[in-house]
Structure 1
Amino acid sequence: MVDIVFINPGDRKQIYQDLGADISAIEPPFLTASFAAYLRNKGFRVAIIDAQAENITPLETAQRAGTLNPLLACVIVYGNQPSASSQNMSISGRICTELKNIGIENVAIGGLHPSALPERTLREEAVDFVIEGEEQEPLFALLEFLKGSREITSVPGIWRWEEAEIVHTPRAPLAKNLDDVLPIAAWDLLPMDKYRAHNWHCFDDICHRMPYAAIYTSLGCPYSCTFCCINAPFGKPGIRYRTPEVVVEELELLHTQYGVKNIKFVDEMFVLDERHYMKIMDLIIEKKLDLNIWCYARVDTIKEETLATMKKAGVNWLALGIESANPNVRDGASKKMRVKDIERVIRQIQNADICVIGNYIFGLPDDTEETLQETLEMAIELNCEFANFYCAMAYPGSELYAMALEENWALPKEWKDYSQHGYAILPLPTKHLSAKEIIRFRDNAFHQYFENRVYLDMIESRFGLSVREHLEQITKNKLKRQILE
């Protein structure tokens, strides 16, 4: 018997279509594993079932949980990137239903989406508890309640049924000491041989995408972009840090004990506070860890003088939120940056032998057919080593979601359809374009970019013929879209 079994949900086929077989990453659930470590440090018996990595069905997941006879089963709903929680709710709901069907008495659900929509989640899903806000203190208190040492009314951040009424308690205060509530993850409870890096992350060595790990060095983001829901569990913009020493201790454990070289820093904004990220770089160099790292940055947070050290520490990829070529469409503080400023920063990064992933969004509220084309032409001109093309989606917890409800815009019928690669995706319309026009433009843009000879020649020169052929094979696989049929 265990006190709590954590479940990481996932359905690669549903979320990525045919890309899920061997192209998409399989990412370890760092937050879930860290929550498990936190509770284990408090004396509780814990277990983790990674249904996504194991690629098992909801029934198989529930049956495996049942063999552990848990006091509490808890499904934690996050994703491979900050906006990927809602798309995992469909499979999460099915897992919760199977958990109740086999007789598990106490089922909880937490994560970004449940925190953004706690009442709706409680009404829609077969769960006893929904966690709103950060999960650690509510889970600790909930286990104490289930063991009989406290009252349910003193458990913070919990939504539940009391007879026929929904009741809830206030969120737990945000943790001040991340080293305490986000300790080194319980990697020993995860199937470490199952995780796989993104294909582009390993362009330098495409045949060795495993083993792989992803960790947070901070939580939250100080910015308030309309399309982003990252701060839903925290209630407000802001950022808190783990200490660099703990972060690098974890990296060293992953490297020495599990042979992990491929590392993702999941932080929404890793390259922000120079004192934090450069201390991590210095410690990695000091410990002589051989790592292949990628992380997120903003164009306006890059400092040219730090790039050589970052490269020396193993940062080989930086993902930049470029969004749009048009400054009137672009969201956030980077709106003031001109295209030539963006290009200058990208060339600085590339001159330091660090590759760039350009992230672009089609369908922001002010987008027109002309601004979409402007963004695509900019992407082709910048010719980054990789690019992600997204449609603007109204993710629960974002400002766009609130706007969509207020304006009565059509939203996806099922949570799985929030996936950018999903069959039934339904992006937001703009003031000038329909959802159908946006998804058609996005999918065509993907093929124009990755089938562009100038891009493929650059890739072959940089990484070799095998990577070029790998990309050419990917572009033969065209996503099926319900809205375009």
Structure 2
Amino acid sequence: MMILGSDIMGNRPKKVILVRYHDKGNINTRLPESLNKVQGVLPPLGIAYIAAFLEQNGVNVSIIDVQGLNMTSAEFAKAIEDKKPDIVAITCMTPTFHGALEAAKMCKKAGATVVLGGSHISVYPKESLQPDFVDFGIVGEGEYTLAELVDALENESDYSTIKGLAYKKDGNVIINQARIVKDIDTLPFPAYHLLPMKKYSSVIGLHPVSTMISSRGCPYRCGFCFKQPSDKVFRTRNPYSVVDEMEMLVTKHGVKEIMFYDDTITVKRSHIEGICNEILKRDLKVKWESPTRIDLVDKELLTLMKKAGCIRLRYGVESGDPRILELMNKKITIDRVQEVFALTKKVGLESFAYFIIGYATETPHTMQGTIDLAKKINPDFVMFTIATPYPQTPLHTLSVTNGLIDPDYWRKFTLGEDVGRMPYLIPDAEEWIKKAYRSFYLRPSFIFKKAKKLRSWSTFKKYCAGAWGLVRFNMLPED
């Protein structure tokens, strides 16, 4: 495991804070705001990994999770003023970039060096560093890059050759090669002790709940999914290390449910089998769930996963129309979708299905087909989102080709131009997604099924909150 030597790191007077800010300015959300409010908040694994690596290398680091702590902008500004950090690194995604800039401005006002990271910076590094209150950007995975940058700033040494760094020089933005951690077993466990673990919750999960990853990257190329450089390289952790982390979450933080945030946990069969067998070997009692693919499970694997404590699998179905599935490059069939959901239920696992409404070239017929398929396979939970053409995705290219969006929308959005909300790709998208949610969740048969499974007052309250979100249904925050 690489650890920067103490002779290099020296004494560490610099104070570093890592930040996940709130979604302020997220005008392009495609998940209904009334449901987003009740779905819960989960730990920010990305900055927790970076914090752990910094700690391992002797850096004085802390985390402010604005979402987890439910802080206002004013409360965050005061926290930064009180803590007086030397360096603040803020994570952001494309839709939440404006919120990250608000946080960056506050941090610069407090005298900090400001670093932006996250997937958006890998797409628009030059544009992201245009504001004078942003000093650096991180392209790719941030653990080693930020540690080396802190070291360089501490020792007032050259940072121009740091891999994964974007910086300013003579009025220009210089972008170094993106950073990818090839061996993710070299990384320490995320710094959960720096997070408000008791604050995290999920509308469908037990409490306390945590997230985890057992792999990074994804070998698949779905048309709607943005892939930064590191996402294109699939890497797995040692199953023993994965279960060590699960055990630590249970014993140190009292976690009752773990939500794996791998893109697809069953890509490498020996990997997931190794995790399950190690859980069984240790007799570790914890419930867990994970995303996977329709074409990467069978009865034998599902049975082993359930035996090892898996309670729920999340499948990306996305559409109920064969033409749209092909356009999305999903490489699955409707028949296989139905088979796998029936098999998942037969094995005794809960299922969660993801669907996209309003993909480019969709028609009322194809969208109705998606709603009909959702009800036919009848998962325990479902999420519908309106298609969003993120930059550098095939969906973005398709949307531009069909004249549905401005090809430079996201660049202008990043630069702060008043471009408004990105238009939907089909008419009446909000009405369609409202119809999808209500026609699935408000069915008497679904309500009766959930009522039969109620075992606690807290679960009842969560379900009531979700139902109220469906009744009040709105896509954007109310003024």
Question: Normalization by structure 2: what TM-score?
Answer: 0.86
1:445 and 2:436 are equivalent in the alignment: yes
- Match of residue 110 from structure 2: 102
In the TM superposition, what is the alpha-carbon distance from 1:413 to its structure 2 partner? 7.7
Of the candidates 349, 354, 357, which is equivalent to residue 344 of structure 2? Answer: 349
Instruction: Tell me, yes or no, if the aligned pair for 2:221 and 2:329 is still in contact at 8 Å.
Output: no
| Change in CA separation of 1:148 and 1:331 when aligned onto 2, cut-off 3 Å | farther
Q: Partner letter of residue 97 of structure 2?
A: M
Query: 1:225-304, aligned counterparts within 5 Å?
Result: 225-229=222-226, 231-234=227-230, 237-304=232-299
Q: Which moved more, 1:251-260 or 1:41-50?
A: 41-50
* Matched-pair contact (CA < 8 Å) for 1:109–1:127: yes
Deviates more, 1:47-56 or 1:399-408: 399-408
The AA in structure 1 aligned to 2:319 is: S
Are 2:38 and 1:43 aligned? no
* Cα displacement string for residues 95-147 of structure 1 (whole angstroms, at most 9, x for unaligned residues): 0011112222x100101111222112112573100111111222122112101
Q: How do 1:2-151 and structure 2 match up within 5 A?
A: 2-11=14-23, 17-21=33-37, 23-77=38-92, 85-104=93-112, 106-124=113-131, 126-148=133-155, 150-151=157-158
| Higher-RCO chain (CA-CA 8 Å, sequence separation at least 6) | 2
Q: Distance in 2 between matches of 1:226 and 1:334?
A: 6
Q: Secondary structure at the match of 1:221?
A: coil
Unmatched 5+ stretches in structure 2: 1-12, 415-419
Distance in 1 between residues matched to 2:403 and 2:106, nearest whole Å? 33
Look up the match of 2:204.
200
Q: Is the 8 A contact 2:84 2:110 kept in 1?
A: no
Q: Distance in 2 between matches of 1:329 and 1:86?
A: 25
The alpha carbon displacement at 1:27 in A equals 0.7
Q: How many residues align?
A: 451
Aligned residue in 1 for 2:389? 394
Q: Tell me, in whole angstroms, the C-alpha distance in 1 between the residues paired with 2:80 and 2:114.
A: 11
Name the SS of the counterpart of 2:111 in structure 1: coil
> Gaps (5+ residues) in structure 1?
78-84, 202-208, 419-423
Query: 2:178 corresponds to which letter in structure 1?
Result: R
Q: 1:152 to 1:269 in 2, by over 3 A?
A: same
2:448 to 442, 457, 469: 457
CA distance in 1, matches of 2:170, 2:75: 31
> Which moves more between the two structures, 117-126 or 360-369?
117-126
| In 2: Cα distance, 1:116 partner to 1:13 partner | 19
Shift in alpha-carbon separation, 1:406–1:127, aligned structure 2, 3 A: farther
Measured in 1, the distance between the counterparts of 2:80 and 2:215 equals: 31
Q: What's the CA shift string for 1:35-89, capped at 9, x where partnerless?
A: 1111111222211111111111334324323433333110122xxxxxxx22322
Equivalent-residue separation in structure 2 for 1:282 and 1:148 (angstroms): 47
Instruction: Please report how far the alpha carbon of residue 287 of structure 1 lies from its aligned counterpart in structure 2 after TM superposition.
Output: 2.1
Note if contact 2:63-2:194 (Cα within 8 Å) is conserved in structure 1: yes
Question: What is the DSSP-based 3-state SS (H/G/I as helix, E as strand, rest coil) of the residue aligned with 1:200?
Answer: coil
Of 122-131 and 270-279, more deviation after overlay is shown by 122-131
| Offset of residue 224 of structure 1 | 0.9
Question: In structure 2, what is the equivalent of residue 80 of structure 1?
Answer: none
SS where residue 166 of structure 1 aligns?
strand
Q: Distance in 2 between matches of 1:476 and 1:463?
A: 21
Contact 1:226 1:331 in 2 (8 A): no
Partner of 2:10: none
> Aligned equivalents of 1:29 and 1:337: distance in 2?
31
In structure 1, the residue matched to 2:417 is: none
Cα distance in 1 for residues equivalent to 2:84 and 2:221 = 42
Deviation at 1:425, TM superposition (A): 6.1
8 A Cα contact 2:313 2:352, kept in partner: yes
Secondary structure at the counterpart of residue 43 of structure 1 = coil
Name the amino acid aligned to 1:89.
Answer: F
* RMSD (Å) for aligned C-alpha atoms: 2.9
Partners in 2 of 1:354 and 1:369 — Cα distance? Answer: 32
Give, in whole Å, the separation in 2 of the partners of 1:187 and 1:445: 37
Contact 2:222/2:329 (CA < 8 Å) preserved in 1?
no
**1:334, 1:349 → 2: CA distance?**
23
Could you tell me how far 1:405 is from its partner in structure 2?
5.3
Separation (CA, whole Å) in 2 of partners of 1:26 and 1:214: 10
Question: Aligned residues: percent identity?
Answer: 24
CA distance in structure 1 between the partners assigned to 2:155 and 2:261 by the alignment: 37
Q: Aligned pair in 2 of structure 1 residues 13, 395: CA closer, same or farther (>3 Å)? A: closer
